[in-house]
């Protein structure tokens, strides 16, 4: 047995959980190794001090006081803005936010790719629709992040492979 194995067994032998054959091997090693003997003596002294220490006890009424403090904290957390923040973090609201995001993405898709209506005049170039004032630069810049949010939402729903790609009506 080497010193590393002996050091692993010292604490185990002090608690009385070492099998007899391993304990004999440890005793043989301790007879030959002064370093391990010193470590075993130190651990034995520490175990004796721990056994002599009184068992810790909670003061009378500790749990009643703890529960009252917990009730006060919960009541404080359920007021004002903290209640609103907690409400927004609930899964039901998260699903609502995901559904709202998907509605916005679909609405933007229709605004960008669907022909406005059948009876209106078309732009000189049929591939472009006049959306001045509807589609701002910030809307255009936010489309990739909305697409990412929709993809994440779809993955979280474990939906079957359904395409959420925005498709123009009439093949355009």
Q: What integer best gives the mean pLDDT of the chain?
A: 75
Number of domains in the chain: 3
One domain for residues 76 and 112: no
**29 is in which domain, residue-wise?**
3-52
Of all residues in the chain, the percent with pLDDT exceeding 90 is 12
Is the domain of 40 the same as that of 96? no
**Does 75 lie in the same domain as 39?**
no
Average pLDDT over residues 76-105: 76
User: Which two tokens mark 13?
Assistant: 């032998």
Q: What pLDDT does residue 65 have?
A: 93
Is residue 68 domain-shared with residue 123, that is, in the same domain?
no
What is the 8-class DSSP label of residue 125?
S
| Single pTM value for the model | 0.34
Pair 96, 167 in one domain = yes
Which residue matches tokens 């959306």?
131
Burial of 142: CB neighbours in 10 Å, binned 0-12, 13-18, 19+: middle
19 plus 43 within the same structural domain: yes
* pLDDT bracket for residue 168 (50, 70, 90): very low
Supply the pLDDT for residue 124.
47
Domain match, 74 and 136 both: no
- Decide which of 50 and 131 is more confident: 50
E strands within 12-166? none
Q: Find the mean pLDDT for residues 121-130.
A: 51
User: CA-CA distances (angstroms) from residue 1 to 36, 50, 120?
Assistant: 12, 28, 93
């Amino acid at each position: 047995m080497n010193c590393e194995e002996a050091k692993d067994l010292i604490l185990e032998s002090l608690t009385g959980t070492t099998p007899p054959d391993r304990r004999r091997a440890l005793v043989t090693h301790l007879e030959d190794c002064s370093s391990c003997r010193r470590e075993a003596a130190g651990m034995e002294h520490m175990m004796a001090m721990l056994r002599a220490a009184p068992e810790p006890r909670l003061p009378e009424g500790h749990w009643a006081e703890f529960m009252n403090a917990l009730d006060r904290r919960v009541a404080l957390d359920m007021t004002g803005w903290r209640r609103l923040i907690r409400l927004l973090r609930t899964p039901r609201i998260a699903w609502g936010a995901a559904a709202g995001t998907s509605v916005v993405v679909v609405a933007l898709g229709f605004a960008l790719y669907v022909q406005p209506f059948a009876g209106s005049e078309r732009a000189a170039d049929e591939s472009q629709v006049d959306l001045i004032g509807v589609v701002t630069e910030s809307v255009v810049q936010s489309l990739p992040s909305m697409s990412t949010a929709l993809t994440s939402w779809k993955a979280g729903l474990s939906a079957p492979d359904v395409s959420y790609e925005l498709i123009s009506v009439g093949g355009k």
